[in-house]
Structure 1
Amino acid sequence: MAVAALLDQLPNPPRGPFFSAFLSAQGRILHDVFVYPKKNTRRHDGYLIEYDSRPSEAPPLQASLERFILRSKVKIEDVSNQYDVWSVWGSESTQELRRWSFARSGVIEPQWGLEQWPWFDGGKERLSLRDSRAMGMGKRVVVNKGDKPEETATHDTAEHDAYTLHRILHGIPEGIIDMPPTQAFPMESNLDIMGGLDFRKGCYVGQELTVRTYHTGVVRKRILPVQITKSDGKATSPEEYLSLVHSDVRTSVVERPDGLSTRLRGHGKLLSIMQGVGLALMRLEHVDMAERGLLEFRVDETWDISHWRPSWWPKQDRE
């Protein structure tokens, strides 16, 4: 992820920090973002936006935002060469308790309560937030380029692959690999469960389809963590795993004792992969059948795929 935009001289005091996303008019994800309140050198209020700035099908975020400036006195600039982003985890002293709200469509919302903004990181004078997308994710810290956060004095440092593995094991999609811009739907990408969507906010780009799905639609897919193994049991290199990114996950129907056949439609898709585990966009009807032992998941008849539900997800009775 890269910090690549700074909104300055806003007319209203900022709130935050928070996690959210920019959507297209068709309700598809363009960018998932972390937003931090930030004053400039002249003490003007603004926001720092952290997002995956690698080239993709989505229009560049800075250009997209500039379309909405009109006559407002807002300045937007690329500051990706001024900051570094760190993730810090492993020192949470308490388990975060959260309540959930369930819609008939399958949308799931965390209920934070009014006592504390869920992304707030203790009031310190720095660019940081609690990573409340999932319990155990820790916090995110933005520092000046080349600097290190204060936690490096008490924590081990690791490469970016360790963070990727950490979020995969927690079932957290992120960036253009897991949420292909202009293609991914927000609820299918778990933005609702991660607290990145507001279904009661006023007008915003992409709201119509998002709210319609909440009230009258059905969430048919979700991103789930998966384990990936070769069917013949042979060892696998990191390069082989990476070659599977965005491969189709097909279903193989297990013979039923009643002799009936099941007609299946659609397939899943592998997303981020690291050390034999990954994230995959899966059809929920297939997931339910797999959990009842009626089918198995495979890629190219060579790889076996098995899923699990993140432990922090809400427990609810399923019909």
Structure 2
Amino acid sequence: MQRLPFATQKLPSRAVITVSGEGAKDFLQNLITTDIEGLKPGEAAYTALLQPQGKILFDFFILAQDGHYLIDCSAAQRADLIKRLTFYRLRAKVTIAESDEEVGVAPVKPANGASFTDPRAAQLGARLIAAKGSLPAGEDDAYRGGRIRLGLADTDEDIGSGDLFPHEANLDQLGGVSFKKGCFIGQEVVSRMEHRGTARNRIVPVYAPKGAPAKGTEIKAGDKLVGTLLSSAGSDGLALIRLDRLKDAVESGIGLLTETGPVHVRKPAWARFDVALPKDNEDE
């Protein structure tokens, strides 16, 4: 897929946290799902902070800078994320603070400034962290539609807080979980799901020829619930799908339906898990 044609713009739904101090790296490394030990200044990772029970509390991007880290997170969750990080700080020599910088996206990574190629999918261009007021406002339809078509979940629209395991939101597929680093919060549960292969639910892209219905709409195969629609843009959407039930439906020749019409599941190009598709459906 070619790079998506969206213009440089700010994302009002995102905000920035600064984590600094001599203990910043070790502090974050012991909490989050990704291994940031080797991150060099200017490099970024997609990651999450989990409940002890293994479900996602916050998913975010973390950008290494000289002597500190910038967190690109949901603006609606920023205060709660700072509160949670502060709770875990204890005696660590770390400063956690809101930043007045804003987050944006651009088709390509600029030569200067705090920016990074989206670590989930290079097709989504670059994410920018810039001074307040420096990024142009604009409609995010092209960016948002591209995100959805690529099968990438959004914090506010799709993932939420405390609802999904990392595997269900595909963090294991998108570099958002390290299974080789030392302990992190919720690691035991997440590692068990990985080794036992017990993740039955996954967020996947879907296509609804008659237009995607509202968020929360049930997707069924006959009388059996297969999934629930999440965010959508036009006829494209994301849905949380029970893959075993999808497989049963495909093998039985039963199509997926919502209250507004048929829905077709797609397998994103980055997915390493199996997605049952009818023979006449092409993968992403």
Task: Tell me, yes or no, if the aligned pair for 1:224 and 1:281 is still in contact at 8 Å.
Answer: yes
Q: Which residue of 2 aligns with 1:303?
A: 261
Task: Tell me, yes or no, if the aligned pair for 1:3 and 1:48 is still in contact at 8 Å.
Answer: no
Distance 1:295 1:162, change over 3 A: same
What residue ranges of structure 1 are gaps of 5+ in the alignment? 40-44, 92-120, 150-156, 231-235, 254-263
- The normalised TM-score by structure 2 is 0.78
Task: Tell me, yes or no, if the aligned pair for 2:220 and 2:256 is still in contact at 8 Å.
Answer: yes
User: After the TM superposition, which of the residue ranges 272-281 and 126-135 deviates more from structure 2?
Assistant: 126-135
1:192 aligns with one of 143, 165, 172: 172
* Deviations 1:88-139, CA, capped at 9 Å, x for gaps: 23x5xxxxxxxxxxxxxxxxxxxxxxxxxxxxx79x5521111131242222
Distance apart, 1:220 and its partner CA: 0.9
Q: Which residue of 2 aligns with 1:103?
A: none
Q: Which residue of 1 aligns with 2:86?
A: 66
Pairing 1:163–2:143 present:
yes
- The normalised TM-score by structure 1 is 0.70
Q: Which amino acid aligns with 1:267?
A: V
The root-mean-square deviation of aligned C-alpha atoms, in Å, is 2.8
Q: Which amino acid aligns with 2:51?
A: S
Task: Tell me, yes or no, if the aligned pair for 2:221 and 2:249 is still in contact at 8 Å.
Answer: no
Pairing 1:133–2:120 present:
yes
Distance 1:283 1:199, change over 3 A: same
Task: Tell me, yes or no, if the aligned pair for 1:224 and 1:307 is still in contact at 8 Å.
Answer: yes
Which secondary structure does the structure 2 equivalent of 1:67 belong to?
A: helix
Distance apart, 1:77 and its partner CA: 1.1
Pairing 1:27–2:39 present:
no
Q: Which residue of 1 aligns with 2:182?
A: 202
1:268 aligns with one of 227, 237, 260: 227
* Deviations 1:7-51, CA, capped at 9 Å, x for gaps: 121336673421111111111011111111235xxxxx2111111
CA distance in structure 2 between the partners assigned to 1:6 and 1:147 by the alignment: 19
* Deviations 1:164-204, CA, capped at 9 Å, x for gaps: 10101111112122112101111111111111111121111
Task: Tell me, yes or no, if the aligned pair for 2:24 and 2:93 is still in contact at 8 Å.
Answer: no
Pairing 1:251–2:209 present:
no
Report which of the two structures shows the higher radius of gyration computed on alpha carbons: 1
What residue ranges of structure 2 are gaps of 5+ in the alignment? 1-12, 26-36, 277-284
Which secondary structure does the structure 1 equivalent of 2:124 belong to?
A: coil
Q: Which amino acid aligns with 1:136?
A: Q
CA distance in structure 1 between the partners assigned to 2:138 and 2:135 by the alignment: 13
CA distance in structure 1 between the partners assigned to 2:239 and 2:23 by the alignment: 41
Between the aligned residues of both structures, percent identity stands at 30
The number of aligned residues is 249
CA distance in structure 1 between the partners assigned to 2:79 and 2:135 by the alignment: 31
CA distance in structure 2 between the partners assigned to 1:53 and 1:222 by the alignment: 25
Which secondary structure does the structure 2 equivalent of 1:295 belong to?
A: coil
Superposed counterparts of 1:89-238, under 5 Å = 89=107, 126-148=113-135, 159-230=139-210
Which secondary structure does the structure 1 equivalent of 2:161 belong to?
A: coil
Task: Tell me, yes or no, if the aligned pair for 1:35 and 1:50 is still in contact at 8 Å.
Answer: yes
Q: Which amino acid aligns with 1:287?
A: L
Pairing 1:87–2:105 present:
yes
Which secondary structure does the structure 2 equivalent of 1:33 belong to?
A: strand
CA distance in structure 2 between the partners assigned to 1:53 and 1:31 by the alignment: 11
Q: Which residue of 1 aligns with 2:282?
A: none
Distance 1:317 1:273, change over 3 A: closer
* Deviations 1:57-87, CA, capped at 9 Å, x for gaps: x9810000001221222111112xx222222
CA distance in structure 2 between the partners assigned to 1:172 and 1:277 by the alignment: 12
Distance 1:223 1:31, change over 3 A: same
Q: Which residue of 2 aligns with 1:53?
A: 75
Which secondary structure does the structure 2 equivalent of 1:68 belong to?
A: helix
Task: Tell me, yes or no, if the aligned pair for 1:135 and 1:312 is still in contact at 8 Å.
Answer: no
1:37 aligns with one of 54, 64, 67: 64
